[in-house]
Amino acid sequence: MVQAGKRFGSARRILVAGASVAGLTVAHWLDRYGFEVTVVERSAGLRPGGQALDVRGPALEVARRMGVLEEFRERTTALRGMSMVDGSGAEIYRTTERTLTGGRLDSEDLEVLRDDLVDVLHAACGSGVRFVFGDRITALTQDEGGVEVEFEAGAPARYDVVIGADGAHSGTRRLAFGPEEAFVRYMGGYVAIMTVPNFLGLDRWQTFLMDGDVGAGLIGPDGSGTARAYLGFESAEPVGYDHRDEDAQKRLLAERAAGLGWVVPQILEHLRDASGFHFDARIQVVMEHWTKGRIALVGDAGYAVSLTTGQGASMAMVGAYVLAGEIAASGGDPAAGIARYEDALREYVLRNQAAARDLNDRNHNDDDRSGPGDFTDFGTLVEEMSLKDYPARLT
Ligand SMILES: Cc1cc2nc3c(=O)[nH]c(=O)nc-3n(C[C@H](O)[C@H](O)[C@H](O)COP(=O)(O)OP(=O)(O)OC[C@H]3O[C@@H](n4cnc5c(N)ncnc54)[C@H](O)[C@@H]3O)c2cc1C
C-alpha cells in the first residue's frame, strides 16, 4: 500500500464530482495520502435512495483497509431468505439459502442498505475533505499542467486532477468524453426502488412476483422499520422519459403495473408519496477508455454494471481505491497514475460486465420467468461476481 505523506510535487489539488460510494471512497484515500480534496455533489446533501448494495470480493478488503468493515457488518440487511409468489399471492418458491438481491447467505459478502453504506463512507472521510453540496461542474478544460473547472454556482478554479464519480448519468463524462448515448447500453428494462410501509410485516425477508413483463418485490424491514419496494418492467426498446421528472416516472410505473395482483395495488397506492425513490433503465456504461490525461471516471460513471446485480458498489470501491493509490504512487505525474488505474481495472470491469450481460440475456430469452430457475441463476451469478482475484493489483 502507498504510504501516507505529502510527497507529490505540486500535483496536490483534486476535485471529485459525486458524493456517493465511488466519490467518498476515493476522497477518503486521497485525503489519507495527503492530497487537498474537494467533493462537489449536485444534491443538497448526501443523496439518499435505493435499496441495498453488496460489498463482495476485493471490496471487502478495501473496506477493511478503510476501517469500515466492522461497521458494514453491523449494518447488514441480515436477511434470512426469500420467496416468490404468483399473482394471487400464493408462495411458489422459498429458500433460506440465498436472496435475490444479495446472493448466498452463507458467503462472506455483505449486503448493506445504500443509505447506510453512503453514511458510513461519508463518516470515514477525514476532516480535510471539503464538501460542496448543491453544485456541479459545467465546463472542463484540460492542459499539460492541470484542469480549469467552471461550476454552476461556485467560482471557477484550477485542479491538478478531476475525478468523475457522478454515477451512470455522469455530467463529468459528458463534458470530458462525449454524449451519454455513446456509452450507455440499454439492457431491456426498467427498475424502480422506493421506501414504503412494511405492510406485509416482513421480518428480514424478501418476496418477489414476476408476472409476464412486469415484476414487483418487497423487502423488509429496513433500518427504519419500513420496507423497500421494487417495481420493474421489460421493454424491448427504451421508453422516452425525463430523468429529472420523478412524477412522470411514477405515472409510467403505475401504467405498467396496473392490474397486477399480490400487494402491487398497495405499492401503487404508496407510490405517489414514496420516499427514497430511484428509477432507471437497466443499463451498462461501456467505454473503451474511462480516463483522459488528468481526468478519470470511477464507479458507475465509467463502468456501471447494471443496477440489478448490486455489484456496482464493489466495483466503485475497488476502482476508487486503485485510482487513489495509483495517483499517490505517481510521483507528481498524476496522468501516468491515472493511466495505470485504467489498465489495472480493465479485466475486472470486463468480467463483471460480461457476467451481468449473460444473466440479462438468459432472463430476457426465458419465456417462463415465473419459476425458481431465474433466481438460482441469479444467485450463482452473484457468487461469481465476487471475482476474488481481481483486480490483480490490489496492493
Ligand atoms: C438514488 C440512487 C439509488 C440507487 N439504488 C441502488 C440500489 O438499490 N441497488 C443498486 O445495486 N444500485 C443502486 N444505485 C446505484 C449504486 O449506488 C451504484 O451502482 C454504486 O454504488 C456505485 O456508486 P457510484 O458512486 O459510482 O454512483 P451513484 O451511487 O449513482 O452516485 C453518484 C453520485 O453523484 C451525484 N451526482 C450526479 N450527477 C452529478 C453531477 N453532475 N455533479 C455532482 N454530483 C453528481 C449523485 O447525486 C450521487 O450522489 C443507486 C444509485 C442512486 C443514485
Q: What residue owns the CA closest to ligand 1's atom 11?
A: 310
Q: What per-residue confidence (pLDDT) applies to 360?
A: 77
- From residue 35, alpha-carbon distances to 112, 130, 138, 252 in Å are 29, 11, 23, 45
CA of 170 to the centre of ligand 1 (A): 10
Instruction: Find the 351 Cα to ligand 1 centroid distance in Å.
Output: 21
What pLDDT score does 9 carry?
54
Domain that holds residue 55: 13-77+109-184+284-365
Calpha distance 197→199 (Å, rounded): 5
| Strand runs labelled E in the chain | 13-17, 36-41, 52-55, 81-85, 91-95, 98-99, 103-104, 110-113, 130-133, 137-143, 146-151, 157-159, 161-164, 184-196, 205-211, 214-220, 227-234, 275-285, 291-292, 295-297
50 alpha carbon to ligand 1 midpoint, in Å? Answer: 9
Instruction: Give pLDDT, residue 372.
Output: 47
The segments of the chain whose pLDDT lies below 50 read: 1, 3-7, 369-372
- The reported pLDDT for the residue numbered 101 is 80
Is 382 among the domain residues?
no
Cα of 167 from ligand 1 centre, angstroms: 5
Residue with cell 470480493: 57
Nearest CA, atom 18, ligand 1: 312
Nearest to 137 by CA among 124, 156, 119, 121: 156
Residue type (1 letter), 78: A
The reply to whether 272 falls in a domain is: no
Buried residues in 128-142 as b, exposed as e (16+ CB within 10 A): ebebeeeebbeebeb
**Which protein residues touch ligand 1 with a CB less than 6 Å away?**
17-23, 40-43, 47, 49-51, 53, 114, 136, 165-167, 171, 193, 278, 299-301, 307, 310, 312-313, 316
201: in domain: no
Q: For ligand 1, atom 12, name the residue with the nearest CA.
A: 307
Nearest residue by C-alpha to atom 27 in ligand 1: 167
Output the CA 20–ligand 1 centroid distance in Å. Answer: 6
- The ipTM of this complex is 0.99
Report the number of distinct structural domains present in the chain: 1
Return the exposure string of 273-306: e unless at least 16 CB atoms fall within 10 Å of the residue's CB, then b: ebebbbbbbbbbbbbeebbbbbbbbbbbbbbbbb
126 in a structural domain:
yes
Q: What are 91-112's pLDDT values in tens digits?
A: 999 999 888 887 788 888 899 9
Burial (CB count within 10 angstroms: exposed 0-12, middle 13-18, buried 19+), residue 44:
exposed
Atom of ligand 1 nearest to the CA of 21: 25
Q: State in Å: Cα 19 to ligand 1 middle.
A: 8
Q: Is residue 371 part of a domain?
A: no
CATH code, domain with 340: 3.50.50.60
Residue with cell 438468459: 362
Q: Please, are residues 363 and 381 in contact by the beta-carbon 8 Å criterion?
A: no
Look at ligand 1, atom 19, and give the residue with the nearest C-alpha.
Answer: 312
Residue 279 Cα to ligand 1 middle (Å)? 11
Dihedral (CA of 75, 76, 82, 86) sign: positive
Question: Which atom of ligand 1 is found nearest the CA of 304?
Answer: 19
Residue 51, C-alpha cell as written in the block:
435499496
Is 8 inside any structural domain?
Answer: no
The conformation of residue 116, written as its DSSP 8-state character, comes to: H
Residue 239 phi, psi dihedral angles, 5° rounding: -100, 130
- For residue 117, tell me if it sits in a domain: yes
Residue with cell 415465473: 370
pLDDT score of 380: 59
- Nearest atom in ligand 1 to the alpha carbon of residue 50 is 5
CA of 24 to the centre of ligand 1 (A): 11
Tens of pLDDT along 307-330? 877 789 999 999 999 999 999 999
